[in-house]
Amino acid sequence: MPRPIIGIISNHHVINDEYCVQAAGLINIAAVADVAGGLPLLVPAEPDKVHLSDLLEHCAGFVFTGGRANVHPEEYGEEETPAHGAFDRKRDAVTLPLIRALVERGQPFLGICRGFQEVNVAMGGSLYPEIRDLPGRDNHRMPPDGTLEEKFALRHDVTFTKDGVFHRLMGRQSVPTNTLHGQGIKAPGPRVVVDGHAPDGTPEAIYIDGAPGFSLSVQWHPEWNAQADPVSRPLFDAFGAACRDWADGKRARPMLKTA
C-alpha cells in the first residue's frame, strides 16, 4: 500500500539576499517519512499558486511547521506593533483557511510552534507578541548561541491534563520538551482546548473540541530527534496512523478519548 501523502507547510526564505525559495527543515521531512510513515510533500505558502481544494484532495494530512515569521495580528483583531516581529501574510492566507477546512472535514493535522499558534488563530483565538515580557513568564526563545543540539535541548517540562488526550497518548502526565518560541496563546479560540502547560503557565499542547479527526498541536518542536525521542515518537506515530486511515477510504480517526 502506498504511503499517505502528508503536506508539510513551507516557509519563505531568501538565499544570498536575492534568490527566493520555499523551504522546510529536513527534520520535518524526516519525522513525516521515518516516524509518521508518510510521503512528504512540501506545500508552498503561496496562495496564488496552491488551491485549498487541491490540497484537501491530494494530501491525507498536514504538518503546520514552525517559522520565524509570525501570524499577523490583524488575523485576531489587533494592531501591528514592533513587538509582533516579522510577518508572512501569504502563509497566513494559505494556512488559516486550510486549518478550518481540516477541522470541519476531520482530516488529520499536526501543528508545531508557529503552526500551533496558527491553529489557535484560525479557530478564533489570539496571541501574545512576546511571552518573556509578561510578568512571571520565562524566556521561551531559542538560545542565541550554541550548536543545534544545544538550541533544541530539553529545557522545561510540559504537564498535561490528568487523563486528557495528551496524557493518554504519552502515557505520562509530565514530559520534558525543548522550547524555541517568542509568541504564545493569549486567549484560546472557542473550541481550542489547552491540554498542557509549561511550568510558568504558558499553553504548550492543544486540540480542537469536537473535531472528528486528529487535531493535536504543540508549542515545542517534536520534529527534532523525532525517531528516538520518547515524547516526539508517539505524537508522530499517532498522526501517521490517522493519515493512513484517512487515505484508506477517507475515514477520520478520532483522537484518544478522555475518561
Question: Do the domain assignments include residue 178?
Answer: yes
Question: Is 205 within the bounds of a domain?
Answer: yes
Structural domain containing residue 206 = 5-247
Residues 6+ away with beta carbon under 8 Å from 134? 128
Residue 258 lies in a domain: no
Q: Is residue 259 part of a domain?
A: no
37 lies in some domain: yes
pLDDT of residue 259: 41
Q: How many domains does the chain have?
A: 1
Check if the beta carbon of residue 51 is closer than 8 Å to that of residue 98.
Answer: no
pLDDT tens per residue, the chain (259 residues)?
799 999 999 999 999 999 999 999 999 999 999 999 999 999 999 999 999 999 999 999 999 999 989 999 999 999 998 888 889 999 999 999 999 999 999 999 999 999 999 999 999 999 999 999 999 999 999 888 889 999 999 999 999 999 999 999 999 999 999 999 999 999 999 999 999 999 999 999 999 999 999 999 999 999 999 999 999 999 999 999 999 999 998 666 667 654 4
**Helix 89-105 to helix 114-122 angle, to the nearest 10 degrees?**
70
Give me the CATH number covering residue 227: 3.40.50.880
pLDDT of the residue at 247: 95
Integer Cα distance of 170 and 237 in angstroms: 11
Supply the pTM of this predicted model: 0.95
- Give a yes or no: residue 204 inside a domain: yes
**Burial of 27 (C-beta count, 10 Å sphere; 0-12/13-18/19+):** middle
**Residue 133 covered by a domain:** yes
Residues belonging to the active site: 113, 221, 223
The answer as to whether 48 is a domain residue is yes
d(CA 156, CA 178): 7
Whole-angstrom distance, CA of residue 200 vs CA of residue 198: 5
Q: What is the pLDDT of residue 256?
A: 63
